[in-house]
Structure 1
């Protein structure tokens, strides 16, 4: 058969669909919904590339090819809405959008930090030289 879009288009979209089913079935998994959202965002980019490269340049297109490319464009137009809805599901499951590359955390307050590699005796334990008072 002479397909309009390559097989990589179908494999990419069907694999994201499989991850989406996994994300819906496992309601407590934050990783599944994160992978689904990342896959959706990635397929938006790859769908644009596939459609722009493989769109026919000549005037005559069969009806099946015209329908095929129309459904691919319709799917591409619906993906931002799908990404928004999946992001809402991500937030409902307790996910936070934090992009941290390590630079912003350098100035955090570390007053409650206690190093464990130093032999300092913490003030919370009584000194061994003091005798314990009887409770009565």
Structure 2
């Protein structure tokens, strides 16, 4: 489970709230992984992936609009990273989840948590000059 810490904050409340929601989506996947009582997780996995894809599109649009507004020099790199992430999430919807549901959740978790940690700490904080 990933816990929000102050060092994840970029100092812009609307973006921080959106990042926290992405943490929540990741933690939904984590709780599903840990749920040993639920045998068939196929529908839940798909719902999490759909929610993640939908929300990241919204979130990235907000970030990108802000970067354009402030004339952020790293906009093109961020835009490319955002597109690649959405493509990666979209491809996860095409994978045969039923083949190994636990592995599908583990892969989803790795994608979400690695993105959140690497991208927020490595790229998003630069937008605000942190």
TM-score by length of 2: 0.47
Q: Which has the larger radius of gyration?
A: 1
Larger helix share, 1 or 2 = 2
